Amino acid sequence: MTFDAALFNSTQLWLPIQPEIQAAAWQQSRSFAQPAAQWNAYLNQLSLQTLLPYLRQDAPQAQISPTAAQNWGFVNGSAIAWEQDGSAIAWEQRLVLIPTETIDLDEIRIPQEWVDIPSWAADYYWIVQVNPDDAWVNVAGFVTHQQIKQRAQLNVSDRTYCLDGADLMPDLSLIWLSQRLGWSEVTRAALPEIAALSASEAANLIQQLSQSGLESLRLTLPFERWAGLLEHRLWEQWLEQQQV
């Protein structure tokens, strides 16, 4: 099926996936060993590379998080950041894209890492429906970090925040309008700092990573220790060791 904008009469954002993006995303996803991680990387690349040019129309300085591709082996989502100018100060704005193949969005699931780890948390979260077969993406809507913390329920079994789809705001122009007008919207909830791991704890976790990998540790470690591993970038030590 060829993408036809006339078929998508909606206030939501619909964009075609270009063939070169689809081919590159498929090739890059092969760097992951596990099939589930490969597919997750593929969907994330499709949403990220299709939406980034759109984002740069309003935020020309928007940059992909340098660790985005590394995260796809164990958690869904990608982060983008840009500097927003105010009347007297400039501050960083962060956006997380959460891709999904799900058509029915009655319930939205956002990985806990993107919400409860301070260096991962964002101002806005876009829920992106991805259809690789028909080559389109649809931003079904967005929600702020503050709204997730206020309205969503944490599912401890898979460590995702579950949000009612009705809480999504479909009109993305509200984000850019609020920034242009300088509205002082509170987008981020306050988060406690993640405690640093001791040297012995860090060494133990690095050893566990070498034996089981990030995708296994995500749900087996207590979240506080898992978050400490990610917040203080200790997992990157393990990745570097794998490349030796």
pLDDT at 116: 98
User: Within its chain, how far is the Cα of 24 from the centroid?
Assistant: 20
pLDDT at 67: 84
Contacts 24+ apart (CB under 8 A), 80-88: 80/48, 80/52, 80/55, 82/55, 84/59, 84/179, 86/182, 87/182
Q: Last residue of a domain, which of 133, 154, 181?
A: 181
Q: Nearest-5° angle of CA 62, CA 118, CA 211?
A: 100
**Residue 194: inside a domain, yes or no?**
no
Which residues, 6 or more positions from 92, have their beta carbon under 8 angstroms from its beta carbon? 81, 82, 83, 84
**Residue 187: inside a domain, yes or no?**
no
Per the structure, the count of domains in the chain is 2
pLDDT at 183: 59
Q: Tens place of pLDDT for every residue, the chain, 244 residues?
A: 344 444 444 678 999 999 999 999 999 999 998 899 999 999 999 999 999 999 999 888 999 988 888 899 999 999 999 887 654 445 689 999 999 999 889 999 999 999 999 999 999 999 999 999 999 999 999 999 999 999 999 999 999 999 999 999 998 888 877 666 555 678 999 999 999 899 899 889 888 888 888 888 899 999 999 999 999 888 887 877 765 4
**Residue 188: inside a domain, yes or no?**
no
Do 97 and 207 belong to one domain? no
Burial 69-92 (b: 16+ CB within 10 A, else e): bebbbbbbbbbbbbeeeeeeeeee
Residue 84 pairs in a beta bridge with 91
Contacts 24+ apart (CB under 8 A), 179-183: 179/84, 179/93, 182/86, 182/87
**Residue 12: inside a domain, yes or no?**
yes
Which residue reads 């503050």 in tokens? Answer: 146
pTM greater than 0.85 = yes
Do 42 and 155 belong to one domain? yes
Range of the domain at 68: 5-181
Do 62 and 142 belong to one domain? yes
Do 140 and 237 belong to one domain? no
Do 48 and 83 belong to one domain? yes
